[in-house]
């Protein structure tokens, strides 16, 4: 695995921070890694592997992340691809919650099945949110906080290096 793209869709920056951490771990393993928002990626054919991450909003990957997979489905089918999601629901990390959150990926998995999936809790910081997202979060009475488990993110990214290399 020489060149890996870690691309992401985010609304308030938490998913970008997870993507940057995944890239950092992959680089530490010897890979050349680029981190870009999905909207800034125009071609994936020059990469040996792709990692796509998205925040969850109202039970779905963000539309631009789904669009990225749709647009690049043919190329992604020829190279190892992993997905991750960041969801506040995982602050209550139980088998039931993981099962529920995993189902959020069903539409994108129908487009292309990844070689690995990372499910991570997110961060809710009202100061970084636009009005609509703030309203949505407030309507479900979500208290702010940072529930990301960096050790779990690091472990997934570390294992991902081997998975991508052998897929």
Query: What pLDDT does 79 receive?
Result: 96
Per-residue pLDDT, averaged over 129-135, amounts to: 57
Burial of 141 (0-12, 13-18, 19+ CB in 10 A): exposed
Q: What angle do CA 118, 51, 84 make, to 5 degrees?
A: 25
Q: pTM of whole model > 0.95?
A: no
Per-residue pLDDT, averaged over 45-63, amounts to: 93
Say whether pLDDT at 67 is over 60. yes
Give the chain's domain count.
1
Query: What pLDDT does 139 receive?
Result: 55
Say whether pLDDT at 11 is over 90. no
> The CATH number of the domain where 9 resides is what?
3.40.50.360
Per-residue pLDDT, averaged over 114-128, amounts to: 81
Q: Which residue has the higher pLDDT, 111 or 134?
A: 111
CA distance linking residue 3 with residue 13, whole number of Å = 24
Domain that holds residue 62: 3-166
**pLDDT tier at 58 (50, 70, 90 boundaries)?**
confident
CA distance linking residue 24 with residue 34, whole number of Å = 10
């Amino acid at each position: 695995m020489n060149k890996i793209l870690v691309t992401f869709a985010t609304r308030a920056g938490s998913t970008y921070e997870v993507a940057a951490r995944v890239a950092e771990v992959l680089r530490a393993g010897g890979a050349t890694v680029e981190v870009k928002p999905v909207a800034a990626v125009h071609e994936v054919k020059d990469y040996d592997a792709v990692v796509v991450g998205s925040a969850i909003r109202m039970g779905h990957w963000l539309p631009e992340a789904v669009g990225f997979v749709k647009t690049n489905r043919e190329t992604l089918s020829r190279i190892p691809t992993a997905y991750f999601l960041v969801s506040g629901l995982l602050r209550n990390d139980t088998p039931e919650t993981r099962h529920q959150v995993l189902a959020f990926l069903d539409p994108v998995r129908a487009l292309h099945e990844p070689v690995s999936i990372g499910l991570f809790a997110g961060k809710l910081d009202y100061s970084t949110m636009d009005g609509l997202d703030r309203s949505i979060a407030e309507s479900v009475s979500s208290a702010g906080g940072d529930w990301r488990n960096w050790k779990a993110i690091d472990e997934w990214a570390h294992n991902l290096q081997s998975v991508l290399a052998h897929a």
